[in-house]
Structure 1
Amino acid sequence: MLSQLTVRMRLIFLALLPLIVLVLVIGMALNNASRLNQSFEELFRDRMQPVSQLKVFADAYAVTIVDSLHKYRAEVFGEGKLREELAAARQRGDQAWKAYLATDLTQEENLRIDRIRGDLQKVQQLVDRLVGQLDGGRLRALEPIAFNRELYDTFDPLGNELEGLITHAAA
């Protein structure tokens, strides 16, 4: 068959064959790169970003709020600053929590979330009650051992559940 072709046609055929193979290989590589990119986006959206959102939520509630209450009681800052810190922490935490809940969640995550919701409600009730004690310096006057016991007895279950959820989500 090739013997019937002119030399010019043979050269064109020999040049086109590798080009066609090259175009096919490039097309397959681009397709694989696109699938890899989609897989990475899914991994980021479904695993990495939720862990980051949980970290922001945990830091806002279990770190910033507790730290702010202690700083107020130690007179590092005043009532206005405490109210500002608590409001900012709650807003930051609630936004991160809402964003986390909007992700695709597993059955195990949903079970943990139900427990966290109960713990979070207790934390929010305690914070509201403590803010109510700001007037007249009653919050600063609370006995330290009783204050710390109530604070950590309320916040620790939330922190422990969040730690478990973060560990599960990162796995």
Structure 2
Amino acid sequence: MTTDEKLIKLDRTDRRILELLQRDGSLTNQQLAEQVGLSPSPCSRRVRALEDAGIILRRVTLLERKKLGLTLTVIIQIGMDRHTPERFEAFEQQVATFPEVQECYLVTGQEADYMLKVVVPHMDAYQHFLLDKVTRIPGVSGVHSSFVLRRVVDNTELPLGYL
């Protein structure tokens, strides 16, 4: 944690608000207030404070991939030719523009420098993504693809029990 990343002390009500919103971001303030045992105004103020503190980043809608024809999930390990800030920054900026990329991590402890989680409709789309996008990024020196057979755990909720 950097010096500008200060932990924010949360009480039981704040944690409950976060748990409920992680499960269902479409809850109205009234519904949320009822479930945490507050009246609407204090509940709204708490949510706003969590947003202002940068704890709640945004609210999203999760979609079912298969029903949209996005049936292939690939974990890609990528090696870079040079380990310079400029090379990494250029790679990260380019990858951030690809809608197929769900997650991108700079990693250590293995041959790869980056791990990507990519979602596409089928193998032909993956081939296009790999050959026409990823391998054309300057500095990419190696690619290893692993194809997901089944999602065993696919959770977007953070474990708040540690707080």
Task: Indicate whether the TM-score tops 0.5.
Answer: no
Higher strand fraction: Structure 1 or Structure 2?
2
Instruction: Give the alignment's TM-score, normalised by structure 2.
Output: 0.25
Larger radius of gyration: 1
Higher helix fraction: Structure 1 or Structure 2?
1
Instruction: Give the alignment's TM-score, normalised by structure 1.
Output: 0.24
